[in-house]
A and B are shown apart, each in its own frame.
Chain A
Amino acid sequence: MTTDNRQLTTVQSDLSVVRWQRGVPIFGVPIVTRNFLFLTGLAIVGYILIVYRQIFGLGAATGLSDGYPWGIWKTFNVMTLTALGSGSFPIGIAAWIFHKRKLHAVMRVTLLISFLIYFTGLLAIAVDVSRPWNVYNLLSVFRWNTMSPMWEVLWCMPLYCLFPLFLENTPPVLEQWFYFFPPIRGLVVWLIPVIRKTYPFVVALAYTLPILHQSALGGLMLLVGNQVYPLWQTPLLPLLYVWAAAFIGVATTIGALMLCCLAWKRPLDQSILDELVQLMSALILPWVAVRIIDIVLRGKFLLMFNSGFRSYLFWAEILLVLVPVLFLRQKKYRESHYHLFSSCVFIVLGGMAYRFDPTTFAYRPWSLTYYTPSVIEILISLGFISTCIILFLLAVKRLPILPAPVEQWYDLENYYKRIYPYIQMSGYGDKDQYRPSYAD
């Protein structure tokens, strides 16, 4: 340290800048809290009602009918919520292909959120299909209908969730085993080079597959033609759906990170949040432009204003997504926790509305049938969402996932050394056997 005043102030301001450097579990906080018990209760109610649905059939458990065969399990839990869980592919592509190195710190959180939302979405599909015993047809190549977006979704989503996404979520578990279960340490040390060798192939799959199935989710509504209102129905629907999934996923990641860090008193890394906001606005602004230009080019410009409640719906979707992004271009709003979080909430709501409307509010079957979800349907849907949140809470409190500065890691080690004296989480610099290398 020199006596140059200018340098002293630089060092001091550096100390006040937070950098997320490692994933660290939330420690010192009980797992079973009141909220946790409430969510568990909701999930159990949902599972009991699933048994009811299996015994008494879809007609008794839902508000579905022949004129309106798809209810909120398909249209909400799958088509809408998996957009929330699509943060991993845009952030991953930005981090690994566009060299935004900072974003590596948040990859674990976004992968966890993706996996849990997709997993509970798959549970929703499993409960919704009525003849699940025929799902073996997925393996029967001659029965594949490559023209059907439904076929695309049925193989691509489970493959994505259970293969690349699952594998990408194993490193935090392996790390946990390494530090806390000495008997398995050998297995972990053996596994790590295997993972490193196969990582590029698995991660590339984790970017290709979401693009395929998120666009297929959009393609699903192409087939109903003019029953979807022209403000939404467009040949570009698959493209707009996958694009929307990308920015909704990023917004969910920002919101989830802020919520977790503020709830458990962790510091926020403003530079990474800025980076994520930049990614989000780079995705949103062209999306809004493409959507509106597409409507104008198809000659439906006036419908934006004279469609009654559908006009309001359309403009709500556009403005909920556009206005927060324009606000976030200014530094003072990005740095204000309140404004950043509420902007992300609005963007997620606007994006969810965009994904949900073509299947419900903007969809008018020729038979003019109406549909409202039954109470059982809503409770089962909430049961799936609760399962997702419960598993997230469990994971975040036991596995090194949430990003934090390095000091938290040392605090963690000190906290656990009291309970498990054999814990060693630092000081591995000279032990060559634990130094992983790509060249191995």
Chain B
Amino acid sequence: MSLSRRQLLKMGVVGGASAALTGAAMAEEKPVAPRDAVAMLYDATLCVGCKSCVVACANANGLSPDTRLDPLHQAPADLNSFTKNIIKLYTPAPGESGPYSFVKRQCMHCVDPFCAAACPFHALSKDKVTGVVSWDSDKCIGCRYCQLACPFETPKFDWDAFNAKIIKCEFCKERLARGQEPACTYVCPKKAVIYGRRDLLLREAHHRVEKSPGKYFDNRVYGEVEGGGTQVLYLSAVSFDKLGLPNLSADEHPSRWLRWQERVMKGFILPIGIYGVIVGFLKQNFREHDDEMNDEHKKTGLLPQI
């Protein structure tokens, strides 16, 4: 393959640019929560499993009760299209000893949300001030990539509807806007789940851990750094994976994996650069090909095929 100096220079520039971009992408950034980020602190050791929060959430969000499994009771089996917040129970397997524990599951409102990174049109987006991750029906195309991306399996989908929605906890943002706290934290009789600023609740959680060393699993707060950090924090006596919270490390967050794509596609500079180089090659080769085809056409009397 014969390359002119100009072509070589062009290729070098493009190659160098892409190498620089990938090098820059390798540098890691730690996700930082908004300054006034709201948060919930759920202490599983205080929860008695009364499920007032489940009822309050459904009321506040205008969701009808899930009576599919039991016609007399609101009894969802899991988060689903009727349920944005649920209480589950962990009991040790037969033969194992250890405490049981309730766990409250809802959207974790991650500091670097997987669903918002996944969504092609920002239908799921993180509020810049409060950090609440919410869903916009005007932008969602129903591709369900958010469901695939979320490690907590939070976004739930309306599988039976034609006008399907993504259903997940949105931190009662209308109540927040009115100056009230979320419905679940408001009704909890044991103050097992409380509402506040993320920095203050983290401090409170650390204070509880220091006050009772050994009471809480691993003496840590789940959500402080896991998956880049979340705005719903957990304290528990049993290990977090028994409660269904996945074992994520601090650097398993979307920016780390996808920043390269954002950089490569920035202003479409790199794709257009590659396109320009290829056009250059093609124009030259097309000319040669055309001359060959015209010679053949004159010789054989057959029209050339483009």
Contacts and interface: CB of A to CB of B under 8 A. Distances in A.
Interface string B109-136: 0000010111111100000000000000
Contact of A70 (B80, B144, B257): B144
A227 B17 CA distance: 33
A85 interface: no
B136 to A, nearest CB: 9
A98 B285 CA distance: 9
- How many A residues are at the interface, by size bracket? 35 or more
A69 B160 CA distance: 14
Contact of B271 (A178, A208, A366, A437): A208
A175 B302 CA distance: 12
B198 interface: no
Contacts of B6: none
B149 interface: yes
Interface string B230-257: 0000000000000010101000101101
A235 B279 CA distance: 30
A321 B141 CA distance: 37
A146 B265 contact: yes
Given A146-B265, A152-B261, A171-B305, A134 B139 contact: yes
Contacts of A140: 121
B139 A143 contact: yes
Contacts of A196: 286, 290, 306
A144 interface: yes
B141 A143 contact: no
B283 interface: yes
Contacts of A192: 306
Interface residues of B, number: 76
Contact of A97 (B147, B157, B258, B281): B281
Contact of A145 (B120, B144, B158, B292): B120
Interface stretch (A38-46, A57-65, A266-274, A309-317): A57-65
A177 B158 CA distance: 49
A129 interface: yes
Contacts of A134: 121, 138-142
A114 to B, nearest CB: 17
Contacts of B281: 96-97
B120 A150 contact: yes
Contact of B301 (A171, A222, A428): A428
Given A154-B120, A429-B299, A137 B139 contact: yes
Interface of B: 1, 78-80, 114, 116-122, 137-145, 147-149, 151-153, 155-164, 244, 246, 248, 252, 254-255, 257-259, 261-262, 265-266, 271, 274-275, 278-279, 281-283, 285-287, 289-292, 294, 297-306
Pairs A-B, 6 closest by C-beta atoms:
A130-B142, A59-B159, A151-B120, A131-B142, A429-B301, A69-B147
